[in-house]
A and B are shown apart, each in its own frame.
Chain A
Amino acid sequence: MPTSDLLNQDLQEREPADMADPGADEPSPRTESPDGEGRVSEDRSLLHQRLAIRELIDTEVSYLHMLQLCASDIRGRLQQLPQGDLDVLFSNIDDIVKVNSRFLHGLQETASREEDQVQLIGNLFLEFQEELEQVYKVYCASYDQALLLVDTYRKEPELQREIQGIIEAVVPQAGSSGLSFLLVIPLQRITKYPLLLQKILENTLPDASAYPVLQRATHALQDVNANINEYKRRKEVASKYTKVEQLTLRERLARINTHTLSKKTTRLSQLLKQEAGLVPRTEDKEFDDLEERFHWVSLCVKETKNNVAAYLDNLEAFLHFRPQECDLDVGGGPVVQYCSLTRDLQLQAFPEFKRRLEGLVWQPLCSLAKTLAGPQNLIKKRLDKLLDFERVEEKLLEVGSVSYEEEVARHTYQALNSMLVAELPQFNQLAMQWLRQILCTFVALQRDLAKQVLQRAEGSLAQLPHHHIPELAFRKLVEDALGQTSHQLHSFQKNFEKVLPPPTIQPLLPGAERQVQALLSRYGPGKLYQVTSNISGAGTLDLTLPRGQVVALLQNKDTKGNSSRWLVDTGGHRGYVPAGKLELYRVVPRDKELRGQAGPHEDSRHLTPEPTPVPVSSVPTMTQVVAVYPFLARSSHEVSLQAGQPVTVLEAQDKKGNPEWSLVEVDGQRGYVPSSFLARAPSPAPWGWSLPS
Chain B
Amino acid sequence: MSWIPFKIGQPKKQIVSKTVERDFEREYGKLQQLEEQTKRLQKDMKKSTDADLAMSKSAVKISLDLLSNPLCEQDQDFLNMVTALDTAMKRMDAFNQEKVNQIQKTVIEPLKKFGSVFPSLNMAVKRREQALQDYRRLQAKVEKYEEKEKTGPVLAKLHQAREELRPVRDDFEAKNKQLLDEMPRFYNSRLDYFQPSFESLIRAQASPSNSRLLILPLWMSTLPCF
A interface with B by C-beta (< 8 Å): 293, 296-297, 299-300, 303-304, 307-308, 310-311, 314-315, 317-318, 320-323, 325-330, 333-335, 337-338, 341, 432-433, 436-437, 439-440, 442-444, 446-447, 450-451, 453-454, 457-458, 460-461, 464-466, 471, 474-475, 477-478, 481-482, 484-486, 488-489, 492-493, 495-503, 505-508, 510, 533-534, 546-548, 588, 592, 600-601, 603-604, 607-609, 618-619
Contact = CB atoms under 8 A, between A and B. Distances in A.
Contacts of B198: 333-335, 337-338
B219 to A, nearest CB: 10
B208 A471 contact: yes
B23 interface: no
A195 to B, nearest CB: 44
A492 B193 CA distance: 13
Nearest to B66: A300
Contacts of A450: 210, 213-214
A464 B202 contact: yes
A557 B134 CA distance: 33
Contacts of A446: 59, 88, 92, 213, 217
A537 to B, nearest CB: 18
Interface string B145-164: 00000000000100010011
B127 interface: yes
B37 interface: yes
B189 A488 contact: yes
A477 to B, nearest CB: 7
A296 B67 CA distance: 12
A326 B37 CA distance: 6
29 contacts: A307-B58, A308-B62, A314-B58, A328-B190, A330-B190, A333-B191, A334-B201, A338-B198, A432-B71, A436-B226, A440-B225, A446-B213, A447-B214, A450-B210, A453-B205, A457-B205, A461-B206, A465-B199, A466-B199, A477-B196, A488-B192, A499-B128, A501-B130, A502-B168, A503-B167, A533-B2, A534-B1, A607-B173, A618-B174
Interface string B110-149: 1001101100110110011011001000000000000000
Q: Which 5 A-B pairs have the closest CB atoms?
A: A457-B206, A607-B174, A318-B51, A499-B124, A334-B199
B179 interface: yes
Given A502-B131, A502-B171, A618-B174, A496 B117 contact: yes
Contact of A323 (B48, B121, B213): B48
B191 A330 contact: yes
Contact of A436 (B81, B163, B194): B81
Nearest to B81: A436
A547 B1 contact: yes
A546 B1 CA distance: 9
Contacts of A477: 196
Given A478-B196, A600-B170, A608-B178, A341 B214 contact: no
A474 B204 CA distance: 11
Contacts of A330: 190-191, 194-195
Contacts of B203: 461, 464, 471, 474
Contacts of A499: 123-124, 127-128, 175, 178-179
A285 to B, nearest CB: 15
A503 B55 contact: no
B34 interface: yes
Contacts of B128: 499
Main secondary structure of the interface of A (DSSP, over half): helix
B90 interface: no
A485 B193 contact: yes
B199 to A, nearest CB: 4
Contacts of B199: 334, 338, 464-466, 478
A547 B2 CA distance: 9
Main secondary structure of the interface of B (DSSP, over half): helix
A545 to B, nearest CB: 12
B220 interface: yes
B45 interface: yes
A318 B55 contact: yes
Interface string B176-192: 01110110011001111
B77 to A, nearest CB: 9
Contacts of B124: 496-497, 499
B51 A321 contact: yes
A299 B69 contact: yes
B26 interface: no
A322 B47 CA distance: 9
A450 B211 CA distance: 8
Instruction: Tell which of A304, A439, A506, A601 has the most Cβ of chain B within 10 Å.
Output: A439
Contacts of B191: 330, 333
A496 B196 contact: no
Contacts of A323: 41, 44-45, 48
A501 B134 CA distance: 11
Contacts of A457: 202, 205-206, 210
A496 B110 contact: no
A439 B171 CA distance: 71
B65 A303 contact: yes
Contacts of B71: 293, 296-297, 300, 432
Contacts of B45: 323
B33 interface: yes
Contacts of A546: 1
B197 interface: yes
A604 B182 contact: no
Contact of B164 (A296, A442, A507): A507
Contact of A481 (B54, B178, B196): B196
Contact of A492 (B65, B186, B205): B186
Nearest to A327: B37
Contact of B225 (A327, A333, A436): A436
A499 B176 CA distance: 9
Interface string B50-88: 011011001101100110011100110010010001001
Interface string B215-226: 011001101011
A604 B174 contact: yes
B97 interface: no
Given A311-B62, A330-B190, A450-B210, A443 B197 contact: no
Contact of B194 (A335, A454, A486, A588): A335
